[in-house]
Every structure is written in C-alpha cells, then in structure tokens.
Amino acid sequence: MCGIVAYIGDQEAYPILIKGLKRLEYRGYDSAGVALMDNGELQLYKCKGRVADLEAHINGADVRGTIGIGHTRWATHGEPNDVNAHPQSSGSGDLVMIHNGIIENYATLKEELINRGHTFVSDTDTEVLIQLIEDIRQHEEVDLFEAVRIALNEVVGAYAIVILSRKDPDIMIGAKKSSPLTIGVGNNNEYFMASDATPIIEYTKNVVYLEDGEIAMVDRTAGLMIRNIENQEKTPYIQELEMQLENLEKGGYEHFMLKEIFEQPRSILDCMRGRLSVEKGKVVLGGIKDYEQKMVNAKRIIIVACGTSWHAGLVGEYLFEDLARIPVEVEYASEFRYRNPIIDEDDIVLAISQSGETADTLAAIELAKSKGATIIGICNVVGSTIARTTHAGSYTHAGPEIGVASTKAFTAQVTVLALMAMAIGKRKGTIPESAFHLLLTELTSIPDKVESVLKRDAQIKYIADIYKDAPNALYLGRGYSFPVALEGALKLKEISYIHAEGYPAAEMKHGPIALIDEEMPVFVIATKGPSYEKVVSNIQEVKARKGKIIAVVTEGDIVVKDIADHVIEIPDTDDKLMPLLSVIPFQLISYHIAVMLKRNVDQPRNLAKSVTVE
C-alpha cells in the first residue's frame, strides 16, 4: 500500500507529483504529502486526508522546484495525521523520504537511535529509516548513496523508498525490496520514480522495473546508476510500457468502478484475443506453453490468492476438476504461507493477482518456489512483481483497474482460468472433442451476453434503491455460483459498508437461516444448471421465513419468478461460464447502493487497491 512518486528533470515537479499522486491514490488515501527542492532549499507540505486536501492545504503557496517527491499513505505505523504523513524528515531536516512498505525491525533500530541521542516526532517506521541513514552518513562519513546502502543492509522488512537531500540537490535515490518501484526514463536526463507506471505514462513509455535489493541513483548530469545492496553495479534494463493513457481516465463515467463494470464485454474479449480459435478447435496460451505438459502431469494444483482473486480461484478449482480432472486446492495466500504446507516439485501453484503486488500472494509464491513447485501466474498488471516472480503465466489483459473494488479483473481471471483448464483438459484428453468445441463456441459468445446483462442496469438500480438501507444481506449460490455469492457479498460490504455473507445455498440451513426475517434481503443465483431445483428449494425455505428474495435467473425462467420478490434475468450459458454473467448484477447492485448511500465508491474507507503489506 501507499503510493510514491518522484521527479527530477527540467520541468516544475509539483504538477507532475500532484497528478501522479491522484493516479496512485487507489493505493491509500489516509494522508498525502510532497517535498520539493529549489536552490538547495527543501519545501515540505503534508496533511491528513486525500490529495485534494493536500492541494487545498498548499493552496496559494509558492511551490517550486524541478526535483521532488510525493506520497499518498495507507497507514501502517501510527494513525493517519499530519505528523505521520510522508515525506518524513531526518533529525537535521537535511533528508526527506517517502516510503511504501513496513520496516519490521523498526523498534530495535529506533531504540538504538534514541540511545545515540536521536529524537523522533512521528510514530512511523519510515522516520526510523531516514534517521538511520542520516546517522550513518554523519558517523561513517560516507556519501548519501553509501549511507542508504549500509542502512538498507540493517533493515528487515519491505520498502520502496525515494530520498532527497538538501546537501545533494541534484540527486535522487530510490530503492526497493518487496514493494514495487518503477523508474521512468524520459528525454534530456528527466527521470521519474513511482509505485507503478500510471504517473509516468504521460511523459515516457520507457521504464526500468527496479529489482529487490537494488538501489537507483539519478544524478542530473550523470543520469541513472543502479547498484545492489552488496554494491555490485547493475545495467538498467529499459522496457517499453504497453499501457494506454486513456485507460487511466474515467471516460465520462461517474466512477472508475462503473466504467470498469461496463468495460467487461471488451476486457473479456481482450483476454481471449489471439488465444482461441473455434475453427481450429484450439486454445493457445503462449505464456504457459512450455509448462503445459507439466500441468497435464500434475498430481495437484494449488491456487493461492486473496480477496476477489481468491474467489476467481474457487471458480478455477471447479473448472480444473471438471475439465482437466486435476485435484485442486484453493488457499488464502495469507494462511498458506504460515502453515507449513506440504508441497513438492510435482505440484503446480497457480498464483492469481490483479495487481501482481499482493504481499501475501508473493510470500506464498516464494514459499512454494523454495519447495520446488512450478509457479504459474495469472496477473493483470504487466511487469508486476508477481508476474516477474513466477516461472510462467498468462496476463488477463483487462486493462488498468483503478476502482478499489475489483470487477473486470474477476471476469478476466475466470476467463483465463477457463482457457487454461480447457487447454490442459484437451491435451490430457479429459474433455470430449464435442464438449470442448461447444464450450469454446460458448466462450466466444460471452462478451455479447455480458453486454445484454449490462442493459439491465436500470432495473438493477431500481432494486438497489429498495434494499439500500438493509443492515445485512445474504448471498447464496451452489456449484459454480457459490464463488459468485462470496464475491457478491464482498462487493457489497467493501463499498457500501453493509454487512453481507456469502454461503453455499444448502449450507444456509446449518446456521444462517436463523438470520432470516422480513428485513433480510437474500440474493440468490438460481440460473438453469445441475443444481437449479435444489436452489429453488432453498429459495422456498427463505420465503417460508418471510425473507426477501432477489434472484438472478436464466432468461425465460417462470418458476423462480413466481416465488421471488425480484428476478434479474440473464442469458443462458454453460454452467461453467455462468460466473462471467451472474457476477455482473451483483457488481451493479453494490455500485448503486454505495452511490445511494453516498460512499466513496472508488476509494472505500480503510482499503487500498494493492495490499503490499501482510
């Protein structure tokens, strides 16, 4: 979490930093700050609140400088207030630093520094690190780069940092371990550093992704130099960004979330593009080609992910078991990494992550890797840490997802999982040719069917208005629809702050049924499929207790229409692909309820888009 951005070049840094921080605000929005240097003088502005609050705070001040750093915070150490906001300064005020990550041994380091006479003003771990760097520079009489290098060797934890120094006004130093740091290489010795490429794309498409344990120094005249913390020089590897600037704008929608929901026909298509051919009866995922045989031979697949990506993983479990007959376990990455799991070199670990930066997923990957497993990634952000850490993988190609609530990433993840399971099943011979062909054809019809679900938006908004004041909600589904029930509940709670639970429909009678009364909205996926009749019975059970039923049904359904309070009709499709359609009404319901309750839809409280701390 936390977004960091930095600039050094010929332009005024402030507008670049503010624009960059607005793009990075999805990473945290508890407080914000900037530091700029002009003629060897450091100007520091920071405050609690969002980037807009920072702008208001700065309003009217003469902010100047062609070198500067900016930060938007998701608090870890210390409550969100002005003092704990970044940039943090060293004791003398000579150094300023922005930081994304956690310095785990900060307490020990702080104690040592206090014993050496340093005093602290904030509660942050970041202040400890910048004071440590200053302490080393003063006592060991080394230059700034060396002081940073020595300090980072003492640090345990995760960091992406950028530092400015009053004594070195033409130098900017950045470093990374576990948290991301991208360096933009512009024209005429102009450089950017940021948590992701979104603040950079407008100025240059050339980027260097800093690796763990690397320190980058930009000197106005000498340019970019990279060394690792063992002090070995590294050659910067410049890559070209694929990102498009227009994808980072709202494009006429009121919120990014709504834009991203409505983008799904295209994002699913983009995800399939060039990967399947109905005529040739083929699915080709170039990124995993060399590992397909290994997947075919796998005794087991372990899926690791968090949040919405974990829900997509559950759909993946059903798909791989159905189509490729490979046993699958779906693990919360945060649990997997701490429970001494049994893994060996015959295991395939599938890591799913929109951002490609989630700390728990990354740690789960490292653990599985150390035990010899083959790691396949399914990521959205190209060049992200997870994408680079895995042995192979397939991008979801959904385009940048800015809204904190994940929507188009989920449908793209499910699409990739379907393609993967089909490719492996076909190679393994576990899907009959005719079934493969039918499913492939059906998959190509999904974007149009999503489009037709989106046309129900007005009706979904009407339903949202009826239930917006409910304090609780229950989501039920069976089989492939169970993960969608979990996802529907997650969407509602994270952006509307209404308590919601997702359950396998049949589990309701083992406890949650006690919650049902005339106040309780129960959202049910009751589309045609193997468990349709069973779900109809579950609906009857809810109605018998006066619960309110909002059912997502297949077009033309008359049975549920008779029992439910509301039905949302969606096109028919293969049960295995139904999550791609049935999740859409739930995304829209949550969106409309959140807007009606005046919540901050794109940046819900306490959350951040990339969870880069464990």
β-bridge pairing 191-194 and 3-8 = antiparallel
Nearer Cβ to ligand AGP (84/384): 384
Q: Does 85 bind ligand AGP (CB under 6 A)?
A: no
Q: Is 609 a residue of the active site?
A: yes
| Burial category of 166 from C-beta neighbours within 10 Å (exposed 0-12, middle 13-18, buried 19 and up) | middle
* Bridge partner list, 392: 376
Q: How far apart are CA 181 and CA 195, in angstroms?
A: 5
- Catalytic-role residue among 110, 428, 493, 609: 609
Distance in Å, CB of 505 to ligand AGP, minimum: 23
Which of 207, 611, 612, 613 is close enough to bind ligand AGP by CB under 6 A? 611
Q: Does 411 bind ligand AGP (CB under 6 A)?
A: no
Q: How far apart are CA 485 and CA 505, in angstroms?
A: 9
Which of 47, 158, 303, 306 is close enough to bind ligand AGP by CB under 6 A? 306
Return the range that interacts with ligand AGP (CB under 6 A); candidates 238-246, 289-297, 347-355, 580-588.
Answer: 347-355
Residue ranges in 484-503 that form contacts with ligand AGP under rule CB under 6 A: 494
Q: Is 2 a residue of the active site?
A: yes
Nearer Cβ to ligand AGP (182/361): 361
The number of residues in the chain equals: 614
Please report where in the chains the tokens 């339903």 appear, as a residue: 463
H helix intervals, 125-253 = 125-140, 144-154
Nearer Cβ to ligand AGP (181/536): 181
Return the range that interacts with ligand AGP (CB under 6 A); candidates 2-10, 16-24, 116-124, 350-358.
Answer: 350-358
Return the range that interacts with ligand AGP (CB under 6 A); candidates 79-87, 229-237, 353-361, 421-429.
Answer: 353-361
φ/ψ bin of 233: left (φ > 0), alpha (ψ from -120 to 50), beta (otherwise): beta
List the one residue out of 412, 407, 444 whose CA is nearest residue 584: 407
H helix intervals, 120-161 = 125-140, 144-154
Q: Does 404 bind ligand AGP (CB under 6 A)?
A: yes
The two three-digit tokens of residue 448, written as one number: 């149009």
Return the range that interacts with ligand AGP (CB under 6 A); candidates 148-156, 268-276, 403-411, 571-579.
Answer: 403-411
- For 251, other C-beta atoms within 10 Å of its C-beta total 11
Q: Does 270 bind ligand AGP (CB under 6 A)?
A: no
Which of 31, 204, 361, 481 is close enough to bind ligand AGP by CB under 6 A? 361
H helix intervals, 288-384 = 292-297, 307-319, 333-336, 359-370
Distance in Å, CB of 113 to ligand AGP, minimum: 34
Which of 72, 126, 353, 496 is close enough to bind ligand AGP by CB under 6 A? 353
Q: Which residues have C-beta within 8 Å of that of residue 340, sequence separation ≥ 6?
A: none
Distance in Å, CB of 307 to ligand AGP, minimum: 2
**Residue nearest ligand AGP, CB atom distance:** 307
Q: Does 307 bind ligand AGP (CB under 6 A)?
A: yes
H helix intervals, 341-432 = 359-370, 385-389, 408-428
List the one residue out of 431, 407, 333 whose CA is nearest residue 377: 333
Q: Does 406 bind ligand AGP (CB under 6 A)?
A: yes
Distance in Å, CB of 235 to ligand AGP, minimum: 30
Q: If residue 394 lies in a helix (H) or strand (E), which one and from where to where?
A: strand 392-395
Q: Does 405 bind ligand AGP (CB under 6 A)?
A: yes
What amino acid positions are annotated as catalytic residues? 2, 609
Q: Give residues in contact with ligand AGP (CB under 6 A).
A: 306-309, 353-355, 358, 361, 404-406, 494, 610-611
